[in-house]
Amino acid sequence: MNRETVLAPLATQLQQFDQLHTATLRRFGARTIDLSYPNPRTLADDRPYRALADLAATVAPDALRYSPFGGFTVARRHVASVLTQHHGIPYHYRDVILTPGAAAALNLAFTSLFTPADRIMLITPCWMDYPLYLAHLGLHRDLVGSDPDKRLDLDAIERAWTPDTRGVVLSQPVSPTGVCYRPDELGALAVLLARLGVAHGRPPLLINDETHRDQVWAGPQAVSPARFYPHSVSVYSYGKSWQMQGQRTGYLAIHPGHPQRGLLRDRLTLAMRVTGYCAPTALTQHLISALSPFTPDLGPLADLQQHARSRLSKAGYDVIDATATPFVYVRTPIADDTAFVRRAADHAVLVMPSRLFHEPGYIRLALNLGGPDLDEALDVLTALAGGEDA
């Protein structure tokens, strides 16, 4: 099977939703309530915007020069310091490779740390583009479902394991569900991966996508899998916490305890040149330093989450219990999530079908706005839950 044959069905689902998205915006214009892609309409915390404006007004020309492929040393030191505190592990700045967003970081990892014979396990539901990246690179992917509460199913992971499995990708907190894995879950996963590595002669690499790490709006801070498993790399994007998704600023960090730490550093830095990704813009690298450490004000997000979850639960929806991300993950009242999304779109409400996240039967809402607009969207979903014509 050639690459195009594998890519086509993955790309088609995304293209079909994009067509629906475009058609709905054309049909309803400003009346459209868009809860699909996470593009917030209001600022919950304007500190990153103010800091960026100050930098743009005062930065010297030399500060906007080419940076090394891994990024400016000062910015990488700030990242390493934050990671050391968050992960409880002493990171060196050279463990950090700055990238133009998490998507680039993931592609760098897949490109430089695996070979076409390797199989990569994805814990689903997962971010929509993981399988697309792997298919494009000719890497095999195995999708393994979570348990009914969208938590890790270790038995399913072990059943799906093969002698060629060389990596596992998960997000913590989970996108799209917003679930935060507990320390005991992550510890048990680390024990399982270590055991499977011994059985098959090679420790698997765990890729931990921490893109929503700073969006835990209830409960304790998300614990990183890196605390439990040294054969890991962590991926992050500042777009969510800064509310600047389009600025494409992130990184990939190698666990300081990885036995091939130096080799991985060299491979990833070379991959920056080979792929042409380069580092983020010089201005946003300076923004990392200017804001570090930065924790966004999550009070407004917590209020939106509690309001939306309460209304959807009262309407009879099965809402997945979660504590992070701007997302609400909800079982659809009919089996066909795509059909349900189309019904909502007919009433100017855009949400995403869960089959885009490689699991059928749910929808994902991104809480991009509040007030009357959010309540209007929830009114539509309430009517649709009862089988009414909204």
Q: Is residue 136 part of a domain?
A: yes
- Residue whose entry in the numeric block shows the structure tokens 């939703």: 17
Which is more confidently placed, 13 or 4?
Answer: 13
Asked whether residue 12 falls in the same domain as residue 40, the answer is yes
Residue 33 pLDDT level (bands cut at 50, 70, 90) = very high
First to last CA, the chain: 45
Q: Stretch 87-108: mean pLDDT, rounded?
A: 96
pLDDT of residue 144 exceeding 90, the answer is yes
pLDDT of residue 381: 98
pLDDT of residue 180: 98
Asked whether residue 129 falls in the same domain as residue 267, the answer is yes
What is the C-alpha to C-alpha distance for residues 56 and 244, in angstroms, rounded to an integer? 15
Q: Stretch 184-212: mean pLDDT, rounded?
A: 97
Asked whether residue 333 falls in the same domain as residue 202, the answer is no
Q: Stretch 346-356: mean pLDDT, rounded?
A: 98
pLDDT of residue 389 exceeding 60, the answer is no
Condensed to tens digits (0 to 9), the pLDDT of residues 227-280 reads: 999 999 999 999 999 999 999 999 999 999 999 999 999 999 999 999 988 899
Q: Is residue 256 part of a domain?
A: yes
* DSSP state at residue 250: E
Strands (E), the chain: 33-34, 96-99, 119-124, 140-145, 165-171, 205-209, 232-237, 250-254, 327-331, 349-350, 352-353, 362-366
Beta bridge partners of 284: none
Q: Is residue 31 part of a domain?
A: yes
What is the C-alpha to C-alpha distance for residues 201 and 294, in angstroms, rounded to an integer? 41
Task: Write out the DSSP string of 157-201.
Answer: HHHH--TTEEEEEEESS-TTT-----HHHHHHHHHHHHHHHHHHT
Domain of residue 334, CATH code? 3.90.1150.10
pLDDT of residue 146 exceeding 90, the answer is yes
For 202-234, b where at least 16 C-beta lie within 10 A, e where not — what string? ebbbbbbbbbbbbbbbeeeebbbbbbbbbbbbb
Of the residues 256, 276, 291, the one at which a domain ends: 291
Residue 386 pLDDT level (bands cut at 50, 70, 90) = confident
Asked whether residue 31 falls in the same domain as residue 59, the answer is no
pLDDT of residue 77: 98
Would you say the pTM of this structure is higher than 0.75? yes
Choose among 156, 178, 177, 176: nearest CA to 168.
156
Asked whether residue 270 falls in the same domain as residue 332, the answer is no
Q: Stretch 360-373: mean pLDDT, rounded?
A: 97
Q: Is residue 23 part of a domain?
A: yes
Asked whether residue 78 falls in the same domain as residue 124, the answer is yes
Asked whether residue 252 falls in the same domain as residue 138, the answer is yes
Q: Is residue 390 part of a domain?
A: no
pLDDT of residue 172 exceeding 60, the answer is yes
What is the C-alpha to C-alpha distance for residues 369 and 32, in angstroms, rounded to an integer? 12
Beta bridge partners of 141: 120
* DSSP state at residue 319: B
Asked whether residue 316 falls in the same domain as residue 248, the answer is no
* Number of structural domains the chain divides into: 2
Pairing, β 362-366 against β 327-331: antiparallel
Pairing, β 165-171 against β 119-124: parallel
Pairing, β 119-124 against β 140-145: parallel
Residue 368 pLDDT level (bands cut at 50, 70, 90) = very high
Asked whether residue 341 falls in the same domain as residue 276, the answer is no
Q: What domain range is 18 assigned to?
A: 3-46+298-385
Asked whether residue 66 falls in the same domain as residue 130, the answer is yes
Of the residues 291, 313, 345, the one at which a domain ends: 291
Of the residues 238, 268, 291, the one at which a domain ends: 291
Asked whether residue 31 falls in the same domain as residue 154, the answer is no
Q: Is residue 119 part of a domain?
A: yes
- Sorted by sequence, the CB contacts under 8 Å of residue 199 that are 6+ apart come out as none
Count of CA atoms in the C-beta half-sphere (13 A) of 190: 17
User: Nearest 5°: CA angle at 30, between 27 and 36?
Assistant: 80
Asked whether residue 213 falls in the same domain as residue 316, the answer is no
